[in-house]
Structure 1
C-alpha cells in the first residue's frame, strides 16, 4: 500500500474515532486549554469545577508562517519525554518508505497535521487528537488517557501552577504594577512570547511598561534601584496575554 492510500485510510478512521471521542466527553464544550510539557498533561476547562485532564504525547507542530511540519522527536526545544514514542512512527516510515514519516521537518499544509495525527492515533493507540493554536504555531497532541482530577500527577500539576480567580489554574507570570486593561502603557518583555509556548527551566513570562523600560535603561538593566519603580506583580499566563494584547495593540 502506498502512502496516499495508507494515510487516506487512517484519516477516515480518525474521523470516526474523533467524532465518537468528542461526543463521549463533550469536547467542544471546553472553551479554554492549558498544557504543561513537563507533566505532559493537557487541561481543558471552563472553570475549576468544569474541567478535564488528559495524558498526552506530542505529535508535532505546523508553522503557519513557514508552512512546515516538524515532528516532536526532531524538535530539540520540545521538553516532553514521551516524544521518544514518535520514533516508532519514524521507524514505520523507514520500513515502508513513507517520506513524511521519515523526515524530521518538511514543507506542509494544515491537512498534513491531521493526516499525520491519524497515523499516530492508529500506531500508538491513542484515544483522540487535540490541536492547540499558539500564535503562528499549531501543536498536535495524541491523547492517551483521561487523567483523574485527584491523581498524584494532577495534584503536582496544580502545585506548579497558580490559581487565578478569572482563569483557574495556569502558569505564573510577572508584570510591573503599572500594566492594566484601562490605559495602554506599552509592553516590554524579557523575551518574545506566545501563549502556550514552552519555557526553559529558568524562564518565566516577564513584562513591564514603557516607563519601566526607560528606568531600566537608565540603570543599565534590572538592579535594586531600577526594580524599586516596577512593583512586580504575580498573575497567571492568561492574564499576561490579555495585558499584552491590550497594551500593544491600542
Structure 2
C-alpha cells in the first residue's frame, strides 16, 4: 500500500456513508442514495482529471444524433465517450428542463435522465418527475450525480450552450493521442 501511496500520493479517504437502519424511514434511504451518488461522482471526476485532464481547459463537443461527446485536452488528446443529456439549466431564468422531455434531446440520449425520473416516481420526489422546475447549478450537479450513479456511468460533465448549462453523463472513454507516432 505504501507503494501506491508514493505513486499516487496519499489522500484522505472520504468518510464512509452509513447505511440507514432497517427502521429508518424512506427519506433516510433516499438521502443516503443522494450522498452516495455525490461521493461517487467526486471520485470519478478526480480520476478523470488525473487520467486525461478533465477540467483543465479542454474543449468539448457533443453530437446528440450520434450520442457521443468529444473532449480535446491541453495535450491535444481526443477523448470520446457515449453521452446522455440529463437536463439543461437556463441561467437567465433559473429553470431546469429535464432531458427526458426536452425538445432538443433525442430519446436515445435521454435514457439516464429517464432513470432519474423513474427513481423520483418510485420515491415520490416531485422535482425529479416534473418536466421544468426552478433550480440552480448545484441542483444540476445533484441531478447529474444521481443519474451517473443510477446508470453506472463513468462521469458527468457540465458544458455551456448559450444561456444554458447542459448537464450530461458519459460512458466508457476512449483516448487517442493524434501526436503519437
Structure 1 length normalisation: TM-score? 0.54
Distance 2:64 2:75 in 1: 20
Larger Rg: 1
Alpha-carbon distance, 1:10 to partner: 2.1
Task: Find the counterpart in structure 2 of residue 36 from structure 1.
Answer: 63
Number of equivalent positions: 149
Alignment of 1:72-83 (within 5 A): 72-79=99-106, 81-83=108-110
How far, CA to CA, are the matches of 1:148 and 1:52 in structure 2? 5
| Correspondence list, 1:189-208, <5 A | none
Q: Which residue matches 1:95?
A: 122
Q: 2:92 aligns with which of 38, 54, 65?
A: 65
What's 2:148 paired with?
Answer: 121
Q: Tell me how far apart the structure 1 counterparts of residues 146 and 174 of structure 2 sit (CA, whole Å).
A: 23
Residue among 22, 32, 43 paired with 1:16? 43
The separation in 1 between residues aligned to 2:31 and 2:74, in whole angstroms, is 42
Contact kept in structure 2, 1:62 and 1:139, CA below 8 Å: yes
Match 1:108 to one of 132, 135, 158: 135
Task: Determine if the alignment matches structure 1 residue 54 to structure 2 residue 81.
Answer: yes
Distance 2:41 2:98 in 1: 19
Structure-1 separation of matches of 2:35 and 2:47: 19
Q: Would you identify which runs of 4 or more consecutive aligned residues in structure 1 move more than 4 Å?
A: 46-49
CA contact (8 A) 1:56 1:145 kept: no
Question: Which runs of 5 or more residues in structure 2 are unaligned?
Answer: 1-25, 177-181
The offset of 1:23, in angstroms, is: 1.2
SS in 2 for 1:145: coil
Deviations 1:158-208 (A, max 9, x none): xxxxxxxxxxxxxxxxxxxxxxxxxxxxxxxxxxxxxxxxxxxxxxxxxxx
Residues 125-182 of structure 1: CA deviation (Å, up to 9, x unaligned): 0001111111210001101111466xxxxxxxxxxxxxxxxxxxxxxxxxxxxxxxxx
2:87–2:97 contact (8 Å) kept in structure 1: yes
TM-score by length of 2: 0.73
Structure 1: runs of 5+ lacking an equivalent:
150-250
